[in-house]
């Protein structure tokens, strides 16, 4: 037994405080397990951990932690929303069979060989991940939330507004198409209900949601399209007098016209409106079976499908025609939003032609993929283009680049 000196004993000399190395471990480093402070404990070195196979466990743990953090970060980026709206290509819907006619005097409905379709965009509140996708994908666009929806407007309010605009576009399309075909039809309403007020115009403080616009500079407003027509000769900055019905009383407000926010720089009042009590009187009933789509941009496609269904022959000449654009009671086609994403959706769906409002044409150019973009400014100009198509798609494709043709007051490319 060694003599007690009060000094720490050399490593391995006191068999009461050390572990003897097993036969399998002899020749390998080992350490005492005495209490801390007795000088009998030390941390293992990295080499010792590696020799004992424990270093791998530490590295493995580090990778697991990093993986968990990465997954958590991706999950956060994919779920946490930002004050932007993501606009993406939507769906293309063939209107064949989606419009029905009932009542006396309905002519035999023709069966077209081609297709007339409307197109949508898909919108959602953007996440942080969407911001990354929008930087690397040209088919996605981010719009500040305040440009898409005024503050204080809920999802339910926006859906109700979009549904009202879709209903209005269907009624106007019905009226315009039947009038074009020679049927007696009337379309009227009781004014334009203000749904939203744009914050970057002169309207806030002068016009409120719930107001009903009854006149612009003395011109009666029966339906919402009357407002656009009343501003046809005006310029940005011109002052107009608006006659309003507010809580049962008539009031007048004066304000300068602002520039539209759609890039077209049109003079606008700065409100979103729908027709109050819209009424279409026609010799027979037209029923639309299109669901879960909102907004006014289906008007042109609806009108073309009604005309094609109630006319002899095939308006499309066997082509797949996609059309977009808001339609007015006088047949004018107004610009819409998301036209670039709609052009991509039309191209992906295999459309031969995509008819767009002439004011949107610069946003998409002459073609997207194999789909040719045709600008039109009225229902008549759209029909002029379609009636000018050859009966043979193959013969038309053989024309090559061809010369541009005119539809209304705009030039459109009819050959690739």
Same domain, 291 and 406: yes
Same structural domain, 295 and 405: yes
- DSSP for 275-344, written as a single string: ESS-EEE-SSEEEE---S--SSTTHHHHHHHHHHHTSSS-TTTT-EEEE--EE-TTSBEE--S-HHHHHH
Select from 262, 277, 292 the last residue of a domain: 277
Position 213 in a domain:
yes
CATH number of the domain that residue 397 is part of: 3.30.230.10
Please check whether residues 291 and 326 belong to one and the same domain. Answer: yes
Question: Which H helix or E strand runs over 195?
Answer: strand 192-197
Host H or E run for residue 66:
helix 55-79
- Do the beta carbons of residue 225 and residue 310 sit within 8 Å? no
pLDDT of amino acid 3: 47
- Residue 78 belongs to a domain: no
Residue 353 lies in a domain: yes
Each residue's pLDDT tens digit, 17-32: 444 445 555 554 444 4
| pTM exceeding the 0.85 threshold for the entire prediction | no
Domains: count for the chain: 2
The Cα–Cα gap between 159 and 164 comes to 9
**Which range, of 149-158, 241-250, 268-277, 347-356, averages the lowest pLDDT?**
149-158
- Whether 207 and 312 share a structural domain: no
**Alpha-carbon torsion (16, 18, 21, 26), positive or negative:** negative
My answer on whether 271 and 286 are in the same domain is: no
Based on the fold, state whether residues 222 and 295 are members of the same structural domain.
no
Please indicate, yes or no, whether residues 239 and 290 belong to a single structural domain of this protein: no
Q: Is residue 223 part of a domain?
A: yes
pLDDT single digits (tens) 364-400: 989 999 999 999 999 999 999 999 998 866 655 544 4
Least confident of 64-73, 80-89, 102-111, 266-275: 64-73
Show the tokens assigned to 136.
């690397």
Given a contact cutoff of 8 angstroms between Cβ atoms, the answer to whether 154 and 282 are in contact is no
Residue finishing a domain among 277, 299, 319 = 277
Q: Do both 287 and 398 map to the same domain? A: yes
**Does 199 share its domain with 293?**
no
Residue 208 lies in a domain: yes
Helix (H, G, I), strand (E, B) or coil at 213: strand
DSSP code string of 404-415: -EEETTEEE---
Contact (CB, 8 A) for 354 and 379: no
Q: Does the residue 352 lie in any domain?
A: yes
DSSP, res 132: H
Domain of 383, in residue numbers:
282-412
Separation CA 116–CA 305 (nearest Å): 6
Q: Where residue 249 sits, what CATH number does that domain have?
A: 2.30.42.10
Residue 101: helix, strand or coil by DSSP?
Answer: strand
User: What pLDDT was estimated at residue 266?
Assistant: 85
Q: Each residue of 291-342: pLDDT tens digit?
A: 888 899 999 999 999 999 998 889 999 999 999 999 999 999 999 989 999 9
Residue 210 banded pLDDT, cuts 50, 70, 90: very high
Looking at the structure, do residues 400 and 385 belong to the same domain, yes or no? yes
Quick one: which of 325, 323, 221, 334 has its CA closest to 273?
221
Asked if 240 and 319 sit in the same domain, the reply is no
Model confidence band, residue 146 (pLDDT cutoffs 50, 70, 90): confident
């Amino acid at each position: 037994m060694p003599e007690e000196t009060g000094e720490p004993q050399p490593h391995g000399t006191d068999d009461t405080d050390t572990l003897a190395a097993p036969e399998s471990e002899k020749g390998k480093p080992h350490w005492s397990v005495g209490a801390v402070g007795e000088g009998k404990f030390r941390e293992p070195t990295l080499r010792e951990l590696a020799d004992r196979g424990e270093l791998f466990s530490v590295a493995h743990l580090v990778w697991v932690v990093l993986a968990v953090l990465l997954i958590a970060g991706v999950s956060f980026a994919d779920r946490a929303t930002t004050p932007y709206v993501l606009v993406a290509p939507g769906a293309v819907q063939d209107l064949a069979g989606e419009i029905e006619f009932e009542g006396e005097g309905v002519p035999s409905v023709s069966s077209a060989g081609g297709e007339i379709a409307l197109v949508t965009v898909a919108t959602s509140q953007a996440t942080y991940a969407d911001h990354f996708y929008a930087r690397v994908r040209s088919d996605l666009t981010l719009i500040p939330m305040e440009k898409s929806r005024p503050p204080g407007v809920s999802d339910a309010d926006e859906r109700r507004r979009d549904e009202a605009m879709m209903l209005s576009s269907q009624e106007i399309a019905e009226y315009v198409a039947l009038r074009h075909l020679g049927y007696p039809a009337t379309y009227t309403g009781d004014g334009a209900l203000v749904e939203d007020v744009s914050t970057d115009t002169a309207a806030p403080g002068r016009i409120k949601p719930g107001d009903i616009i009854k006149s612009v500079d003395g011109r009666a407003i029966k339906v919402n399209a009357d407002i656009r027509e009343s501003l046809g000769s005006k310029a940005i900055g011109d002052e107009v007098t608006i006659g309003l019905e507010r809580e049962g009383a008539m009031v007048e407000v004066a304000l300068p016209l602002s520039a539209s926010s759609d890039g077209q720089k049109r003079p606008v009042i700065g409100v979103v409106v729908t027709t109050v009590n819209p009424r279409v009187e026609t010799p027979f009933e037209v029923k639309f079976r299109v669901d879960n789509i909102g907004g006014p941009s289906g008007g042109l496609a609806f009108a073309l499908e009604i005309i094609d269904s109630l006319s002899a022959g095939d308006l499309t000449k066997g082509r797949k025609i996609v059309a977009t654009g808001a339609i007015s009671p006088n047949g004018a086609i107004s610009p819409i939003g998301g036209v670039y994403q709609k052009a991509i959706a039309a191209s992906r769906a295999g459309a031969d032609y995509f008819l767009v409002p002439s004011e949107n044409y610069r946003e998409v150019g002459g073609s997207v993929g194999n789909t040719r973009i045709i600008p039109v400014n009225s229902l008549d100009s759209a029909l002029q283009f379609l009636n000018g198509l050859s009966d043979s798609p193959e013969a038309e494709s053989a024309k090559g680049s061809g010369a541009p043709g005119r539809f209304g007051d705009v030039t459109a490319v009819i050959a690739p």
